[in-house]
Structure 1
């Protein structure tokens, strides 16, 4: 009997340790070879790493696979294929991801085994790259379609949260991009509406800052300029007062303007964080989870009612895993542009680092409630098995197997818990932009980059001034 018990214990422990070793690796660690190649600018090698990565080949990670391929082919200048991947990703999102069985997988295993559905800000960034791809492919009509889809997604996102609790309901950068695309197409009326909507997002906060990004001065000028161009005097006066600016008309540059986007660094990666909770019954009979210090109070999940019939004795402690973002400081800290006569500074348009941290924090309570309730239900099942094994021996029956099963379930539950550490990690940490006036014909524009250690680099491009608005984006991925 003792030998059987020892064997069962060792077998359970071995299985548990195997699960533990597998679960230690984060998503970032499992696809490090790909990200190393991306950060080094070796995009062809990066594509090969993507193709042979078994984790990204799994159906549950198809969205991430398409997003990474779309971004990498964009960096390679293969804009046609880039949009092919992004369009497929878009289609996945429109058709809906997950389902009943996917939810069951998340309950029995962990969120890492569910279909990846994307962060809200990642969905907006798809439009950014698709719109630029269409512009570079000389397909303005498709770029306009993408601009309109930004508006539709902003509306859906607003409906999702109903603009409560200062949640991420609209993306100011995407609305600003929408305005730029409309202006690129010569549609000043819709450009004004988009610029105004972007400005309203900033104005809705007390300090005119949205997720770590102050309202760009260029955006203010774009609102005033397009309002004046459309003859919207009342709107012009209103925004002059709100911005504390007086609009002064200026002659449009003969060669048009260049909108230069600087994508700096890489988005933060997700790691795993651990929390320990107990299930407690309150004076009103309802159950809630609390951590050791009592600083976090989380109600028992609504899906199981108030928990009146739930066995609190089964839940002595719970180990919960939750993702946390870890930023990757960019190599370059500042940058300027020059046309040989004038130096132009950049203005931040999007802080993906800040967006990632804040949006994850905003959904902590909701997701931790679901997670802890799921863990409590699993813990209760373990308790039932253990209690059953205690009473099995009365008729002389061997309870070793049931004991071992109970221990195995306990060990599995403990070690299989894993936070979902997946995210679109080749996104930039920040996006800044500048509008540069162009002269007719050839223009030489230099990007001067400076790192905190004093290292400097210069990138030079040539732009033909055509009288229209043009775009260029440049990534520094270190």
Structure 2
């Protein structure tokens, strides 16, 4: 690690320690209650009352501090979280070996690929609100580097969540006047949304084609501009000097992890030794959905696996009014579907590793039982107690992200927001007063609903 980054991490750690206090613990149920009431300050205090340096804790602090408007504290938590996730993602070989003998919870939680990516989304917004556009663009570029590292590590890697982040990057590059990078980002976003629209129900945002037309013309890419006009039509005229208000609506909660028990059969006559555990684990996993007669069974192997439970919100729609203009937000990300699909694509590997771990425990139990019945019972009791699924995650993430982009004349505006279900029912309204937009500039805001 460079001395500069070490110094920055130490400063972040000091900032978190100084603002933490108390000795009471928090529960996720209590935290959700204060979040739902919009009392983000209390939510942050609940977290600070029971501090630690685990990745899940730091991610929760980073996000809640962001909603509380404590952007420096949020960035401090995310800075440490990012370092921990990066470090854990590439090492801890000894803990990997220990996890094979006990459970995945022995390993420090390194975060999912998508959780690591969303750190940069919130850090970029923090810097936008702090008036540090260059730092916001650094986060965008670091996210792009992270996505490339995922692809380099796995030549079969496909990640639907990259479309949203490419679109978000395009918005920030365009705001910063970096037309070329904005154009590239929007092109990547359009490609990703088209590719995954059927699987995830998130289609290209309506404005993306018009942005591509304007940017292509501004960059002199006339053939590209003509192609996008054919696909999306001519962009609407925007008066010179007008700016834009960009509102992100984050709704609900990302899917919740829970433990699921699975029973795998070992048949009479099955023989294997420790060096064959992986191949035999594959055999046992293939039996998962096959029914056997009791006489065929030697042992029922219990394995504990993490699984996801969707918690899709009710208020999925946001309508925005500014002066005489009205815009409906467009869904740009479905974290529920992306996270669940990514998780399911990796579930085969998790199941195989878990089955191999349980088989090693079974061998230990069988050896102990041959020597002594009591020893066998003790080993089996340990095996049952240590078979725990890893259900750690970033629990306060939203389920859905939508965006509304409203062109406005320069000046100060009251922004009206109406939240409802897809059919317009359950309507709830909020107002952002006094949003100032300079000529040709962009004002950003992100809002969260939980129901």
2:72 corresponds, among 46, 55, 80, to: 80
Q: For residue 47 of structure 1, what is the aligned residue in structure 2?
A: 44
Q: CA deviation at 1:341?
A: 1.2
- Greater mean deviation of Cα atoms: 353-362 or 210-219: 210-219
Q: Which string of whole-angstrom CA distances, capped at 9 and with x for unpartnered residues, describes residues 9-64 of structure 1? A: xxxxxxxxxxxxxxxxxxxx9633233322332323322332344xx73x5xx111
Q: For residue 120 of structure 2, what is the aligned residue in structure 1?
A: 127
Contact 2:85 2:110 in 1 (8 A): yes
Within a 5 Å distance, the mapping from 1:85-100 to structure 2 comes to: 85-97=77-89, 99-100=92-93
Q: For residue 204 of structure 1, what is the aligned residue in structure 2?
A: 195
Give the 3 Å change call, closer, same or farther, for CA 248–219 of structure 1 in structure 2: closer
Structure 1 residues without counterparts, runs of 5 or longer:
1-28, 296-312, 390-402
Tell me, yes or no, if structure 1 residue 194 matches structure 2 residue 185.
yes
Contact 1:162 1:169 in 2 (8 A): no
Tell me, yes or no, if structure 1 residue 35 matches structure 2 residue 27.
no
Contact 1:209 1:215 in 2 (8 A): no
Q: CA deviation at 1:252?
A: 4.6
Give the 3 Å change call, closer, same or farther, for CA 161–222 of structure 1 in structure 2: farther
Q: Which string of whole-angstrom CA distances, capped at 9 and with x for unpartnered residues, describes residues 414-435 of structure 1? A: 2321111111111111000011
- Greater mean deviation of Cα atoms: 430-439 or 29-38: 29-38
Distance in 1, matches of 2:101 and 2:263, equals 20
Q: For residue 221 of structure 2, what is the aligned residue in structure 1?
A: 232
Distance in 1, matches of 2:161 and 2:60, equals 24
Q: For residue 260 of structure 1, what is the aligned residue in structure 2?
A: 247
Give the 3 Å change call, closer, same or farther, for CA 453–195 of structure 1 in structure 2: closer
Distance in 2, matches of 1:66 and 1:72, equals 10
Within a 5 Å distance, the mapping from 1:278-289 to structure 2 comes to: 278-279=265-266, 287=280, 288-289=283-284
Q: For residue 392 of structure 2, what is the aligned residue in structure 1?
A: 422
Q: Which string of whole-angstrom CA distances, capped at 9 and with x for unpartnered residues, describes residues 232-288 of structure 1? A: 1222234445xx323346235533111110111111211111111124669xx9631
Tell me, yes or no, if structure 1 residue 69 matches structure 2 residue 61.
yes
Q: Secondary structure at the match of 2:139?
A: helix
- Greater mean deviation of Cα atoms: 332-341 or 177-186: 332-341
Q: CA deviation at 1:226?
A: 1.5
Within a 5 Å distance, the mapping from 1:360-399 to structure 2 comes to: 360-389=343-372
Q: For residue 290 of structure 2, what is the aligned residue in structure 1?
A: 294
Q: Secondary structure at the match of 1:37?
A: helix
Q: Secondary structure at the match of 2:34?
A: helix
2:407 corresponds, among 437, 446, 452, to: 437
Q: Secondary structure at the match of 1:332?
A: coil
Tell me, yes or no, if structure 1 residue 471 matches structure 2 residue 444.
yes
Q: CA deviation at 1:221?
A: 2.1
Q: Secondary structure at the match of 1:336?
A: strand
For these two proteins, the number of residue pairs brought into alignment is 407
C-alpha RMSD of matched pairs (Å): 2.5
Q: For residue 170 of structure 2, what is the aligned residue in structure 1?
A: 179
Distance in 2, matches of 1:32 and 1:433, equals 28
Given the two structures, how large is their TM-score scaled by the length of structure 2? Answer: 0.84
Q: Which string of whole-angstrom CA distances, capped at 9 and with x for unpartnered residues, describes residues 385-418 of structure 1? A: 11223xxxxxxxxxxxxx2121011122123211
- Greater mean deviation of Cα atoms: 408-417 or 33-42: 33-42
Q: For residue 16 of structure 2, what is the aligned residue in structure 1?
A: none
Q: For residue 377 of structure 2, what is the aligned residue in structure 1?
A: 407
Q: For residue 9 of structure 2, what is the aligned residue in structure 1?
A: none
Given the two structures, how large is their TM-score scaled by the length of structure 1? Answer: 0.79
Q: For residue 22 of structure 1, what is the aligned residue in structure 2?
A: none
1:460 corresponds, among 424, 431, 434, to: 431
Q: CA deviation at 1:323?
A: 1.3
Distance in 2, matches of 1:105 and 1:453, equals 52
Give the 3 Å change call, closer, same or farther, for CA 255–210 of structure 1 in structure 2: farther
Contact 2:61 2:74 in 1 (8 A): yes
Structure 2 residues without counterparts, runs of 5 or longer:
1-25
Contact 2:123 2:136 in 1 (8 A): yes
Considering Cα pairs closer than 8 Å and 6+ residues apart, tell me whether 1 or 2 has the greater RCO: 1
Q: CA deviation at 1:469?
A: 2.1
Q: For residue 357 of structure 1, what is the aligned residue in structure 2?
A: 340
Structure ID, larger Rg = 1
Give the 3 Å change call, closer, same or farther, for CA 121–385 of structure 1 in structure 2: same
Q: CA deviation at 1:315?
A: 6.6
